[in-house]
Each structure stands twice: as C-alpha cells, then as structure tokens.
Structure 1
C-alpha cells in the first residue's frame, strides 16, 4: 500500500514541483491550499486547475480571518509589495508572521484526520535568508513536534529544503513539468510583474537552466 500524504499546495513553482515529486515517489497525495488573504490569491486558481487535471483531492481552506492578528506583511496588508531580490532587507516586508507554523499545524491535523502519515511542503534554501519558517532548524523542530502532537505521528517532508530555486526547477524540467501551470508573482494582476522578489527569483531560475518561462510578464 502506498504512503498517503497531505501536500501543502500554494499553486506556485515550488509546491507544484513538490506535488509531482510526491507523485513520482508513489505517494497517494491530497492537496491542501490556504486562502490567508494574500493579494496573490490568483495562485489558488492555478492550484485548483492542476489538481483537477491530475484528479487529486484538493481542499482550499479560507483562513483569511486570522489577518486581524497578523499585521505588517505586504502580502496581506495595504502595503506595496517591494521590488528587488529576496536577499534585500526590503523583502522582509513580505514575511507573514508565523505563517508556515500555522499552515503546517492545520495540515498535520488534516493528515491525522484522513490517516495520512506525512505532510509535504516546499521550503528551499533560497528562502532561508528572509523567511525563518523555511530554514532547516525550523523544519527539524516542527517535524519533532509533529511526531508527538497526536496519537498518530506525522512526518514533515521538505524534499528541496537544501536546494536552490534553480535546482528545484531543474528537477521539475527533468520530470517534464509545464510551469505555465504555476503562478509566482506577489502581485495578483493579469500578468506577472517581473519586479518583485518572487518574480526575480523565478526568472533567475529559468535563466540558470537555459529555459524560457512560459508565463507572460508586464
């Protein structure tokens, strides 16, 4: 019997690759997406389309009410999304307080309820500089807690924790994935802006792989 896992699936490049990585491993996947009031909730439409195509169970949970507790992020508040690379201090404006701990906690609870023994999510090394909840020490400690928080232990799996965005893309391209099925831009407009940290990192990953990004940019 194949392993069953909940995949935290935003609709972006990383979680798209993680989802297919899990499927490649023979995992029986259930996708879980969150509407936390992000201005780029367009990514959720991409996630839904992929899951329909793959006939994967997909749940979108509206937790936007928590934003009254989590102020100060340009992804959820009326604050301009900064332009520039992830390494720049300005990108700290895109940090949503405690986001991944909240999302992982809900995903672990869902895993227990559907008798899944793992939760997959797309933390990677490119996020380490800005996002504390994507760093190895956070994942390790959350994984330790998830083993004892319920009667049923749940493992947190981050296949690309120590990989760059370029390496993730390389693996996805090797799997034959179409990244036109993903949305990365922090501005949820008709076309990707090409200027925010998320867009810049995505474009750099494609350039490093000698590939063309199928998304349209402003």
Structure 2
C-alpha cells in the first residue's frame, strides 16, 4: 500500500503538502516528521505537532542539531549573525547567498526521512513530501530547493531504497502564492502555521519569510490569519 511521510516545518508550504497527502491517501496512511536542527526557537516544532494533531496523523521528531553545531547560519542558536529584515531578493543582491541558508539542510533532512520511512513503513511504497517552491530556489537563494537538487536526491533515495521511496515536491515549479491558492482550496488551517524566523509571540512581519508569506496571501486576495507585531 502507498504511504506518505511529510517533512513538516510547521509552515505554509509543508502544511499544504500535508493537506495534499491526507487528501490523496487518507490520514491513516500519512505521517509527518519535524526536525530540530539547532534553530533559535521551538515555535515551528510546536506548530508542526499541533498541525499533525489537527490532521490526526502520526508525528515524529528527529534531532539533527549536532550536524549543524559548527555552522554560523543566522537561524541557529550559536550564530553570531542577526536575521536580516529584508526580502530574499534584496539580500542576494547585497550579499550573494542568504545568511539563513543552513548548509545542505534539505539533503540531510531528506536522507534522514528516507531512513525513517524505511523503518516505519518497511513493506510499503512511500512518498516523501517536500514543500520546496520556486521562490525558494529563485536566484539560487536556497540551492537545496532547486529542481536539479530535488531530482538528484530523488534518484539517490530511489536507488538506496530499492525503488520503494520517492520524493514528491508538488510546488517545486510554483510560487508561494500558488501554494497558498492550493491550500485555500483544501481549507488548510493556516492559523496554526508559523513561518517567522523569530520565535516570539507574534510574527515579526519583517524577515524574508514573513514578507514572502504576506505577499503570497495578498496575491490571493485574502488576509494572512497570523498576528503580526
């Protein structure tokens, strides 16, 4: 039987992927997994669990923080960098690669999830859902969100799992506005999601992921249900 394991950050993109997987296969055939990688706050992990509860799917948490202990990425607890309050496009124009890129994060995440999938669904075909979209890959802001990267990882995972597993990235060629449009049709509980790089009570509305999110909702003519500072 076909199963799905959704890589869940608690954000808009991965939650929409979870909704798609549940809609396709039913909650009983879907699990979600969130990953602690040393990020500055627990908010996204907390929301991922709430979202899993909402959809009534099994939820797993992995701790990969040791792998990024030497990184100075602005998202990590041990970083000396501040999270910039500007769009990805502005950051790339000014500095090149964005300082919120976590080294090979999606590669490590996908490999780990593939291993988990083989453990919890040893006798089934498994689709691994990844919420990467075209805005993430634009201007090479996040190289591990590009179509080329996803295709290469998909091939490696398929080979390494005896063709039992494959990556499903439904939004890889689409914008975040497209993601939100899809989620609105599926009635995704976006009020439960969290995108902000800051882990405060309200989203900052100034970091790149907040700005990207606000733009996506505005493009769909609806108000983002999150509270912003």
Q: Tell me what 1:119 maps to.
A: 128
Shift of 1:142: 0.5
Give the TM-score of the pair, scaled to structure 2.
0.90
Q: Tell me what 1:180 maps to.
A: 191
Any runs of at least 4 consecutive aligned residues in structure 1 with deviations exceeding 4 A, and if so which? Answer: none
Give the whole-Å Cα distance in 2 for the aligned partners of 1:57 and 1:23. 12
Identify which of 143, 158, 163 aligns with 1:147: 158
Q: Tell me what 1:210 maps to.
A: 221
CA distances 1:61-87 after superposition (whole Å, capped 9, x unpaired): 122122223x12101123110111122
8 Å Cα contact 2:38/2:69 also seen in 1: no
Map 1:37-52 to 2 at 5 A. Answer: 37-52=38-53
Shift of 1:212: 0.6
Aligned residue-pair number? 216
Give the TM-score of the pair, scaled to structure 1.
0.94
Identify which of 128, 139, 149 aligns with 2:137: 128
> What is the root-mean-square deviation of aligned Cα atoms in Å?
1.4
Map 1:1-218 to 2 at 5 A. Answer: 1=1, 3-26=2-25, 28-69=29-70, 71-76=71-76, 77-88=79-90, 89=92, 90=95, 92-115=98-121, 116=124, 117-129=126-138, 130-218=141-229
Against the structure 1 CA distance between its residues 40 and 13, is the aligned structure 2 distance closer, same or farther, given a 3 Å change threshold? farther
Shift of 1:152: 4.9
Ranges in structure 1 where 5+ consecutive residues have no aligned partner: none
Give the whole-Å Cα distance in 2 for the aligned partners of 1:61 and 1:147. 22
